[in-house]
Amino acid sequence: LICYIHKNPMHHNSGIDYRKYMWSSYRDLVEQRIGLTEIDELLTMYSGLDNFKESHIAASDKLIYEFEI
């Protein structure tokens, strides 16, 4: 679900890279920015930043489309 949320802007605005999207909490986590995102909690869920990034790479875009209503 977290990968879907982060990749969602790609499907609604073609050409947007979720890793660079200004309003994405993905950047908060990767750049360790203080904001609304519970960074420590999410990184704990993924067992660290490297696994967090890898899960987004591994989540195929086809799978992301299946979450859409």
Residue 15 pLDDT greater than 60, yes or no: yes
Element (H, E) at 7: helix 2-12
Looking at per-residue confidence, does 9 or 54 come out higher?
A: 54
pTM equals 0.61
> Which residue in 55, 33, 14 sits closest to 23, CA to CA?
33
- Contact present, 11 and 67 (Cβ < 8 Å): no
Q: What is the 3-state secondary structure (H, E, C) of 27-60?
A: HHHHCCCCCCCCHHHHHHHCCCHHHHHHHHHHCC
Of the candidate ranges 16-20, 22-26, 35-39, 60-64, the one whose mean pLDDT is the lowest? 60-64
Mean pLDDT of 38-50: 87
Model confidence at 50, pLDDT cuts 50, 70, 90, reads: very high
